[in-house]
Structure 1
Amino acid sequence: MGHVRDQRYAARSQRDLADLLAAQPLAWLISPGGDDAAFTPLPLRAERGRDGSLVALRGHLARRNPHVARLRRDPHAHALVLGPHAYVSPRWLDDRTQAPTWNYAAAAFALRIALSEAPDDIDAELQALVAQMEAGHAGAWRLGEMGARYARLATGVTALRGEIVEVRASFKLGQDEAAHDFGQILQGLAATGEDALVRWMRAFDTRGSGGDEPA
């Protein structure tokens, strides 16, 4: 990420990273290099320590996925998370000499993976993922509703925990824009239905029009 070393676009706290994962749980798990390089899209959850710090990412893989064997050979991997993003057009601005750009929130996590096929670990992971995804919805679904099918499903799953070794994140959300241009960009994005990105931009806005929550 080209902006990852520009402090204007840094996460304000680990809460921003946790919020990004909650808003966009589907990530790419990547094990590059070698003949068995592997790339798998999968939902990941944030594990936080007692002090609230982000310590690990949790998820699961199908046992038949060749990525499992790769992780057993080499437990080092990366998770790439891409949050809300959109093209920013100069057509929205009074100053049409401005260049177009792209606003986004993204993070790359270097991980050390531990795998488990213990039934309790698999059950805990699947239960937690469903609870997270169903939370707040009327008529929320529960794994128990699968009945006997759930036990058969669980035997084909490997639980994973990725200890976070390093994080590189970029929240490029209009921090470098003049106040007038920033307002026009928000209007343009809202008009094109990019509501999630608008919320993130307002949350990171130090001009006084933002808030604490991106979602």
Structure 2
Amino acid sequence: MGRRAAAMTGTFSPGSPADVAAFVRAQMLALVVSHGPGGYATTPLPLLPETDDAGEVIEFFGHFARANPQVAMVRDRPRALILFQGPQAYIPPAWVSTPGWAPTWNYAVAQFEVDIQLRPQENDRAIAELVNVLEGREPDGWTIEAMGDRYARMLPHIVAFRATVVRAQAKFKLGQDESDTAFDEIVTALGDTPLSQMMRAARQP
């Protein structure tokens, strides 16, 4: 999986770099965490991943509000952390018939250590690509043209950025170590939810 994904090993590791890319595309909203002389700053932002030929995430594209104090932080200290939290739930023993089975928590997370480069020259592209992903190319989808003159006035109030991935770590704790019986009982109790869907997908050979 390469240098960036070297930490993605173990029982609860994703099956492939493409699994991680699919996960962050599905979650989309990330926490961008920076550190400076005044401490930590965190901003929730929708981010678009870019991948290499192997499907591994190598970069994120997004934008800050220009008034966000974190802009100055990443300008001075580009190294940051990007965190994605997926579906999660407490799994109680009452759901499982196995004697002595202990409670657990199932979840999916991915974190990326990145270097952020502010790219104000790409403000327009950052908005256009985000709108395209969220609204699609359907005839009735919302477009930036609907904003009229307000769009041009808005652009100077954001600053686009690209975050180059330095290293990555992901953990999908989705019942991979459960017996078939316990696994079936858990997903039945969860019902048709994003977590149970992700568990079933991870269970497939």
TM-score, normalisation: structure 2:
0.90
1:18 maps to a residue whose letter is A
State the identity as a percent: 38
Question: Structure 1 stretches (4+) deviating beyond 2 angstroms?
Answer: 49-53, 135-139
Shift of residue 89 of structure 1? 1.6
Shift of residue 167 of structure 1? 0.3
C-alpha contact 2:33 2:43 (8 A) present in aligned 1 = yes
Alignment partners' CA distance in 2, 1:146 and 1:82: 32
The one of 75, 80, 92 aligned to 2:78: 75
2:156 aligns with 155
Q: Is residue 95 of structure 1 aligned with residue 98 of structure 2? A: yes
Shift of residue 34 of structure 1? 2.6
The one of 17, 20, 35 aligned to 2:20: 17
Point out where structure 1 has 5 or more consecutive residues left out of the alignment: 209-215
**Equivalent residue pairs, number:** 199
Alignment partners' CA distance in 2, 1:97 and 1:33: 47
C-alpha contact 1:90 1:96 (8 A) present in aligned 2 = no
RMSD: 1.8
Alignment partners' CA distance in 1, 2:154 and 2:190: 42
2:4 aligns with none
Shift of residue 32 of structure 1? 2.6
2:202 aligns with 204
Alignment partners' CA distance in 1, 2:20 and 2:56: 10
Shift of residue 154 of structure 1? 1.0
1:42 aligns with 45
Alignment partners' CA distance in 1, 2:97 and 2:9: 27
Point out where structure 2 has 5 or more consecutive residues left out of the alignment: 1-6
Question: Which of 1 and 2 has higher RCO (CA within 8 Å, sep 6+)?
Answer: 2
Q: Is residue 188 of structure 1 aligned with residue 200 of structure 2? A: no
C-alpha contact 2:135 2:142 (8 A) present in aligned 1 = yes
Alignment partners' CA distance in 1, 2:175 and 2:82: 25
C-alpha contact 1:37 1:70 (8 A) present in aligned 2 = no
2:150 maps to a residue whose letter is R
What SS class does the counterpart of residue 87 from structure 2 fall into? strand
Q: Is residue 113 of structure 1 aligned with residue 116 of structure 2? A: yes
